[in-house]
Amino acid sequence: MRLVLLALRLMCMAWFWPVTQLNSSHFPNKRRHKEQYVGETTKPKHGGRVDLKMKKLDSTKSWLIKSEQLLRIDDHDFAMRPGFGGSALPVGIDVQVESIDSISEVNMDFTMTLYLRHYWQDDRLAFPSSSNKSRTFDARLVKKIWVPDVFFVHSKRSFIHDTTMENIMLRVYPDGNILYSVRITVTALCSMDFSSFPLDTQNCSLELESYAYNENDLMLYWKNGNDSLRTDEIVLSQFFIEDFQPSFGLAFYSSTGWYNRLYINFILRRHIFFFMLQTYFPTMLMVMLSWVSFWIDRRAVPARVSLGITTVLTMSTIITGVSASMPQVSYVKAVDIYLWASFLFVFLSVIEYAAVNYFTTVEEMKKLKRAKIPNSYNATEAMAFDGCFHDTDIDLTSLPEVASTPNTERNTQARNSTVSAPTEGTRLRRKNLLKQHLSFIMSNSYMIDSYSRVIFPMAYLLFNIIYWSLYA
């Protein structure tokens, strides 16, 4: 009996075997395809388990979130501004100044790095959103939509930073409001006035304006008033920034009309300490060094001439160095007044010694004419050392006096009248009083050095008081 049952089972298995093979041949990859579909759209979690919740959050793989289709870019002509044919489009601006990179006096310009942000509304870019969250894009989408054509007036060079990608950000809100931000470095003109240089204060401005749209099409304005201009802590080597202030105005062009213009005004006050060390202190020392010659013996010609020429050449070098670092302006600067006045004092000290040497020579020549010179005296040898006659080379007291003449008597009386106090009031009213003083100084040339020791320092001190009170 058991054998009969076993035989029946074998016959049944043999009967159903072809049917099983047929089913497996028609649907061999059904389960494998299902696993592959699930695996491509989900991520494995915890040893191969699929998190279907992550699949729902990864919305970038849904065709509904494609930016061009979401914003309906292909459905509109973005070559035209929003609201074309209607009223002017308001575009708010705010600026954050990152740094002032350089200020050039020679080129009269400055370089500034800033974040420029634009705010406007374009209903064409509005999109439905249940969470009311904005969408942020980069420069690739900016090229496909309309953006304001703001440029910098009086700019020489400017560029948008592109490391590691272009520093451009576009943020679109569901209601169509747009934030467009770029990071720019711009070099712009600053008309500087160097009349008070280096004790000057410069007013510079960066001007923003639409290039193509006049006030009938586009209205530029500061987004948050005075708070629209923000700055980081900026430290400059030669300037102190006193104030940053935004302002607004209009610009007129004869062929295209009126345009809205925004101004970023800032005031720069120059630090004086650098120029005190490099220009003013060396100049003062050279002037004072030229006064040393007043205490050197008037007969030491090589010493006094060398000192005078050295100070003159040093002053010329200082003036040349300052002029090389400044623009070639056609007016006088404050530093030019100080340098050339100091150069004049140094030059006058050289002229002073020339006068002392000349009067000394004239005085000794007169003494030699009034005396009988012995045959053994050689005038050439007396002048060989320093170019002057010396009354100490001749013993004039042992020589016979020349007979007095009316001229010599008048000269003697003039000298006596200047040395001794006048006894009669009529002498004070003599018309040739000034001539007598000059004649006395010429006959006593050593007194020029004595007067110069007081006059030169006092005059230079007075000049410094007037100069610093006017410009400081």
Structure tokens of 437? 């003083």
Q: How far apart are CA 162 and CA 182, in angstroms?
A: 10
pLDDT tens over the chain, length 472 residues: 666 667 777 776 766 565 555 455 544 444 444 344 333 344 444 444 445 444 445 444 444 456 666 677 777 788 899 988 889 999 999 999 999 999 998 899 999 999 999 999 999 998 888 887 888 999 988 988 999 999 999 999 999 999 889 999 999 999 999 999 999 999 999 999 999 999 999 999 999 999 999 999 999 999 999 899 998 888 898 899 988 999 999 999 999 999 999 999 999 999 999 999 999 999 999 999 999 999 998 888 899 999 999 999 999 999 999 988 888 888 999 999 999 999 999 999 999 999 898 888 888 887 787 775 555 555 545 544 444 445 454 444 444 444 444 454 445 454 444 444 454 555 455 556 666 666 666 667 778 898 999 999 999 999 999 999 999 8
Is there a contact between 338 and 283 (Cβ–Cβ < 8 Å)? Answer: yes
Shared fold status for 89-270 and 275-367+467-471? no
The per-residue DSSP string of 164-231 comes to SS--EEEEE-TTSEEEEEEEEEEEEE-----TTTTS-EEEEEEEEEESS--TTTEEEEETTGGGGEEE
pLDDT computed for residue 276 by the predictor: 94
Q: What DSSP element (H or E) covers 249?
A: strand 239-253
Q: How far apart are CA 199 and CA 238, in angstroms?
A: 11
pLDDT computed for residue 277 by the predictor: 93
Q: How many CB atoms lie within 10 A of CB 232?
A: 9
In total, the chain counts a number of residues equal to 472
Q: Which CATH number fits domain 89-270: 3.60.20.10, 1.10.540.10, 2.70.170.10, 2.40.50.100?
A: 2.70.170.10
Contacts of 237 (CB under 8 A, 6+ apart): 271
Q: What is the 3-state secondary structure (H, E, C) of 305-328?
A: HHHHHHHHHHHHHHHHHHHHCCCC
CATH superfamily of the domain spanning 275-367+467-471: Neurotransmitter-gated ion-channel transmembrane domain (1.20.58.390)
pLDDT computed for residue 442 by the predictor: 67
Structure tokens of 21? 């093979």
Ranges of each domain in the chain: 89-270, 275-367+467-471
The model carries a pTM of 0.68
Structure tokens of 141? 């989408």
